[in-house]
Every structure is written in C-alpha cells, then in structure tokens.
Amino acid sequence: MSLTDIVIPQPGDPRGGELTGVLGVPDGPGPFVPLVVVHEVFGIDEAMRDHLERLTRLGYLVLMPNLFSRGGARRCLVATFRALRSGTGAAFDDIEAARQHLLARDDGKEHVGVIGFCMGGGFALLLAGQGGYGAASINYGMLPADLDATLDGACPVVGTFGGRDRTLPGAAEKLEAALVARGIEHDVVEYPEAGHAFLNAHPAGSTLTRVMMKPMMGAGHRPVEAEDAWQRIDGFLRRTLV
C-alpha cells in the first residue's frame, strides 16, 4: 500500500491555488472500494494519516482532501465551519472534487463511500443525504439543526460516538431514532466509557488545546472500543458498498 500527497484537480474553480490531499492505494490490482475521508478540525495530522493507512490496509482506495489547502487552518477554519452549518460552500466543493477524482480512476469500484471524524463526521452526515454516496460513516460528528431534512433520502449510515463526550449529548440516540423513522439501513453505537476522538491512536492538536478540551470532550484513545468500532465500520462499508 502507499500514501501519497497529491494535487486534486478542480477545473474551473475560481478561487485559485491548489487543492491538496492524501491518496491511499492498496496493494494489488483492484478494483478497490473508494472512500472520501474528511479530516478533523486539526487538519491532516498524524492521527488522520494513521486512519488513512488503516483504511488503505483494509483494502479501500482512500482520498482525504485538505480543506485548509488555501491558507491553512487558521485562515480557513471559520469558512469551513460556516459551510458545515449551512450545508453549502467551498468545503463541499473540495470534497466533491475528491469524490470525482476517485470516480475518474480506473482502479476504483462504482460506489463511493464517505467517512469523517469530528468536524469531518459532521460533513459526512450532511453528505449522506445529498446523493452521490453509497454509505456514510459518522464518527463523533455534530448533528445538524434540521436532522430530519438532512436524512431524507440518505444512504446507509454507520455512526460512532463516545458517552463521555459532553459536546454531543444524546447524539447517538437522536441519530438512531431519525434513521429508524426513515427506514434507513444503519448501525449506530455509543461507547459509554469513550469520549471524543477516541479512535485516534495519536494525539491531535496542541498540548494546551487537549488539556483545555479534556473536561468537555473526555478525549483520549480507547484501544478496545476503537478496535470494535473499526470492525463495525469496516463490516458496514463492505456490506453496503460492495
């Protein structure tokens, strides 16, 4: 397998500059199941590359667009969260460019999935109902204000949350109820002893940021819960995308 930093084509994009990303290609001839992977608020760091490596080793063709390509996290963060709240904007254009790039390759299968973490989980949930994806994996992502409208016509959803994450109280229960009401195939689990970002085997953000956010988020790697979650996610994506 290989992870490669690439430039993702965006023909006709008026913003200028380059959209970069990280592409993961499994060993073997393919075709592989393609996944767009949406990063956390801290960008493409060691924790995100670790997730990309895991997914690639599992046999997925993955591409994580850098939503902070044009100016870095500090400059782009406000606009990115504005897009997350509104459901439209440049971040969605960048994610769509990544999806199109995967579809244009000759080593990918027809149906693309999307998986996101933290901020990226929020994007993955919104994208589940916008068409173009065969399945969505939401990992401790924020729920939109109008969850019902978001999930109308949504693709299958696998959701993973931590019970000690006080920033997302009741999120798993609310998501589960909305998916059940619409008859959407799903697998939603809240791990009681886990917090936010418990899938991350590597620390994300600065030490100060982690210390400040710990009381609210209960963040920290939970190896046992993380392994169970990854098995669920992999099994769900294989079942719904292949």
Question: Which distant-in-sequence residues (6+ apart) come within 8 Å of 74 by Cβ?
Answer: none
pLDDT tens profile 4-40: 999 999 877 766 679 999 999 999 988 999 999 999 9
Reported as a pLDDT band with limits 50, 70 and 90, residue 87 is confident
Mean pLDDT of the chain: 90
Q: Do 61 and 105 touch, CB atoms closer than 8 A?
A: yes
The stretches of the chain forming alpha helices (DSSP H) are 46-57, 72-86, 90-104, 119-128, 147-151, 171-182, 207-217, 223-241
pLDDT tens profile 208-241: 455 455 555 767 889 999 999 999 999 999 999 9
Tokens for 157, please give them.
């959803």
Q: Do 202 and 47 touch, CB atoms closer than 8 A?
A: yes
Tokens for 126, please give them.
């919104």
Tokens for 214, please give them.
């710990």
